[in-house]
Amino acid sequence: MNTKPKFYVTTAIAYASRKPHFGNTYEVIMTDAVARYKRARGFDVFFCTGTDEHGQKIEDLAKEAGITPKAYVDGVAGEIKAVWDKMNTSYDYFIRTTDDYHERAVQKMFKRFYDQGDIYKGKYEGWYCTPCESFFTETQAVDGKCPDCGREVQRAEEEAYFFKMSKYADRLIKHIEENPDFIQPESRKKEMINNFLKVEGGLQDLCVSRTSFSWGVPVDFDKKHVTYVWLDALTNYITAIGFDPDKTYEEQSEEFKKWWPCDCHVIGKDILRFHTIYWPIFLMALDIPLPKKVFGHPWFNFGMDKMSKSKGNVIYADELADDFSVDAVRYYALSEMPYANDGSITYDAVIKRYNTDLVNNLGNLVKRTLDMEKKYFDKEILAPAACDELDGELKAACVKAYNKYIAYMDDYHLADALESVFEMLSRANKYIDETTPWVLAKDESKRERLGTVLYNLLETIRWGAIMLAPFIPETSEEILNELATEARGLDSIGTEDKFGGIVVGGFVSDSKVLFARVDEAKKLAELEERRLARMAAKASEEPVIEKPEGLALIGIEDFMAVELRVAKIIECEKVPKAKKLLKLKVDLGYEQRQVVSGIAKFYEPDALIGKKIVLVCNLKPATLCGIESNGMILASGEEQVRVVFLDEATPLGERIR
């Protein structure tokens, strides 16, 4: 009988419209690291991912390509799966929403909801965003734009079925309040409650069918309707493990009851609403337990901008792996994404972190230690004997790193967990400088001490390789092979008495170059050339942008009348009931001011804190949504707003001329 604790983890299923970019791929890499860690901790893990393959957008793309929607999604799903496989993700199951068993289950759930009065037929009138597959009310669609992606929305009017969300809203609020870990990070939970659940008018009923297109799961008792994407897509988490809509929870298969409830749904923050409001309500209507945690991870931006094919700033993980290796891409993704704020990727940042962390800190430590073991002892591992205070400090650093690592991994702070490991590796590099093995090797009487130093380094490297296994699995295995050790489990490290897993009398293997140094200037030029070529190809497909009319010419005296100064954002929060507005406190050095800015659709509050911006200081005060604003932030764009950020070294209060 299997007595292991279970751990069921999922990603959001990728939309099968286009090849996933680096930001999309981060999610499956992150979830893989969590799954590998849980397996190392002794859990029986089921890791599920897959593709979302229905909807109007896919129907339109297939029509443009001159093929059937099924043929279209077969191709894209294969491409997505190939990227997931190349990134060495250890998923246990890959579900497609076009799988026949899933479609049958969706039909049964729809009918069950209808029969028990949760779904009713009505008429939809409002705004629809095709790229987001989302409906919006008059107040949500601001200036004819989607509040999520900023694209144009279309007026829609059609017969549809609706799910009575309001029927379960109070029960959901109670569950969220009584289960503080249900939505993580904490800031995401507040957003869901304040912006969607506890709003004037209450939670709106959800459109769950469409009649204006046909590429979806048919409603079997009303053939002109197809199931709308969210009822179809979200239910993959239970159909993948065998949920039968015709049975109660107690009557479900042992396999289903083994894995459900899910321990963690890993999703992007942009679809948190669907996973923490609609999905739990569907489950309540099915009378089965809710998932234990929904973790809404941040986004990866290209520098400060959201990745977008139209901007030519898209980076693809599989292409990057061809330049730096799969493990290097995994490492960058997992080390650069903060717990709650957006991460950033640029080519120069990738190269710098690669050379600094992987080449210098890790790769060089392993190679020089193994080379010294070969040079001084012909690869034989000597017993540690002549110990001193430095050895104790190194061991203590290893134990400290392990304890921090476990705590961070358990709380999904993956970047912090990685940092704790690399702090330990840095300590090992310092230990080499402190003990100077090359000096010890010159004195035969210091042979025992030299053997002890090298043993401690080998053992520290073993600890590091084991802790790095969820992040860079191929490199971890290679290091442990070079150490010729069988002690590879997470349970073989962690306390000072376990600092001794390397078998004395054994022999290490020859060292290899784990990560070859990259010529930064040469590689950066190569990657930039690729990016520019992609932008040029994109530009050739698009109409030429006409020169704007502009405004009347002004004199220098008019311009000088505008007082532009450097300010730093020290506080930032969303304005309740105003989707476009952020309230900021800025520091000019000589005073602090409150400013209201319409950039909420484009920036998360936490991502702006600490940034230096340009403030129009002599603008007359204005009142927006009852809040006084004393100044205006300089930004560009209309459909996609970009704040002008300044170099950190720019002095506060300095006038811009």
Q: What pLDDT is recorded for position 318? A: 95
Same domain, yes or no: 174 and 284:
yes
Q: What pLDDT is recorded for position 563? A: 87
Which of 498, 519, 540 is a domain's end point?
498
Residues 245 and 198: beta-carbon distance below 8 Å: no
Output the domain CATH number for residue 61: 3.40.50.620
Which of 266, 297, 328 is a domain's end point?
297
Helix, strand, coil fractions of the chain, as percent rounded to 5 = 45, 20, 35
Q: What pLDDT is recorded for position 541? A: 58
Same domain, yes or no: 365 and 289:
no
Q: What pLDDT is recorded for position 1? A: 56
Same domain, yes or no: 97 and 182:
yes
Q: What pLDDT is recorded for position 554? A: 59
DSSP character string of 632-645: EE-EE-SSS-EE-E
Radius of gyration of the chain (CA): 28
Same domain, yes or no: 82 and 182:
yes
Angle value at C-alpha 374, between 369 and 380, nearest 5 degrees: 100
Residues 490 and 41: beta-carbon distance below 8 Å: yes
Residues 562 and 616: beta-carbon distance below 8 Å: yes
- Structural domain boundaries, residue 383: 358-498
* Residue 194 forms part of a structural domain: yes
> For the chain, give me the number of helices (H) and strands (E)?
23, 27
Those residues whose C-beta lies under 8 Å from the C-beta of residue 451, and which sit 6 or more positions away, are: 377, 382, 383, 384, 385
Same domain, yes or no: 364 and 474:
yes
Those residues whose C-beta lies under 8 Å from the C-beta of residue 88, and which sit 6 or more positions away, are: 32, 326, 327, 330, 473, 474
Sign of the C-alpha dihedral computed for residues 414, 417, 422 and 425 taken in this order? negative
Task: pLDDT band for 604, please (50, 70, 90 cuts).
Answer: confident
Same domain, yes or no: 493 and 626:
no
Q: What pLDDT is recorded for position 189? A: 82
* Mean pLDDT to the nearest integer, 151-159: 81
* Residue 509 forms part of a structural domain: no
Same domain, yes or no: 45 and 186:
yes
Same domain, yes or no: 399 and 290:
no
* Residue 311 forms part of a structural domain: no
* Residue 408 forms part of a structural domain: yes
Task: pLDDT band for 186, please (50, 70, 90 cuts).
Answer: confident
Q: What pLDDT is recorded for position 539? A: 64
Task: pLDDT band for 102, please (50, 70, 90 cuts).
Answer: very high
Same domain, yes or no: 60 and 132:
yes
Pairwise CA distance, residues 206 & 162, whole Å: 5
pLDDT in tens, 205-216: 999 999 989 999
* Residue 309 forms part of a structural domain: no
Comparing C-alpha atoms, which of 432, 299, 363 is closest to residue 12? 299
- Looking up tokens 């076009």, which residue turns up? 98
Those residues whose C-beta lies under 8 Å from the C-beta of residue 139, and which sit 6 or more positions away, are: none
Q: What pLDDT is recorded for position 32? A: 98
Residues 205 and 164: beta-carbon distance below 8 Å: yes
Residues 632 and 586: beta-carbon distance below 8 Å: no
Task: pLDDT band for 311, please (50, 70, 90 cuts).
Answer: low
Mark out the alpha helices in 378-500 (DSSP H runs).
389-410, 414-435, 437-440, 447-468, 473-483
Q: Between 384 and 191, where is the model more confident?
A: 384
Output the domain CATH number for residue 434: 1.10.730.10
What does each C-alpha distance from 309 to 291, 313, 314, 602 come to in angstroms?
Answer: 34, 6, 6, 17
H, E, C per residue of 155-192: EEEEEEEEECHHHCHHHHHHHHHHCCCCEECHHHHHHH
Secondary structure class of 128 (helix, strand, coil):
strand
Comparing C-alpha atoms, which of 170, 131, 121, 124 is closest to residue 152? 131
Q: Is the pLDDT of residue 552 over 60?
A: no
Residues 145 and 154: beta-carbon distance below 8 Å: no
Same domain, yes or no: 491 and 560:
no
State the average pLDDT for the chain. Answer: 90
Pairwise CA distance, residues 423 & 361, whole Å: 9
- Looking up tokens 């949504």, which residue turns up? 625
Pairwise CA distance, residues 653 & 589, whole Å: 5
Which of 454, 475, 498 is a domain's end point?
498
* Residue 342 forms part of a structural domain: no
* Mean pLDDT to the nearest integer, 553-567: 74
Here the contacts of 278-282 (C-beta below 8 Å, separation 24 or greater) are 278/163, 278/165, 278/206, 278/230, 278/234, 279/234, 279/237, 280/172, 280/175, 281/163, 281/165, 281/168, 281/169, 281/172, 282/109, 282/113, 282/163, 282/231, 282/234, 282/235
Pairwise CA distance, residues 638 & 640, whole Å: 5
Pairwise CA distance, residues 206 & 133, whole Å: 13
Q: Are strands 93-96 and 44-52 parallel, antiparallel or unpaired?
A: parallel
pLDDT > 90 fraction of the chain, expressed in percent and rounded = 68
Q: Omega before 261 cis (within 30°)?
A: yes
Same domain, yes or no: 250 and 396:
no
* Mean pLDDT to the nearest integer, 65-90: 96
Here the contacts of 519-526 (C-beta below 8 Å, separation 24 or greater) are 520/348, 520/351, 520/352, 520/355, 523/323, 523/347, 523/351, 524/347, 524/348, 524/351
* Residue 583 forms part of a structural domain: yes
Burial of 218 (0-12, 13-18, 19+ CB in 10 A): middle
Please state the pTM of the whole predicted model: 0.80
Q: What pLDDT is recorded for position 8? A: 98
Task: pLDDT band for 543, please (50, 70, 90 cuts).
Answer: very low
* Residue 516 forms part of a structural domain: no
Output the domain CATH number for residue 591: 2.40.50.140
Q: Is the pLDDT of residue 62 over 90?
A: yes
Same domain, yes or no: 464 and 567:
no
Range with the poorest average pLDDT among 18-22, 35-39, 357-361: 18-22
Q: Tell me how many domains the chain contains.
A: 3
Residues 52 and 230: beta-carbon distance below 8 Å: no
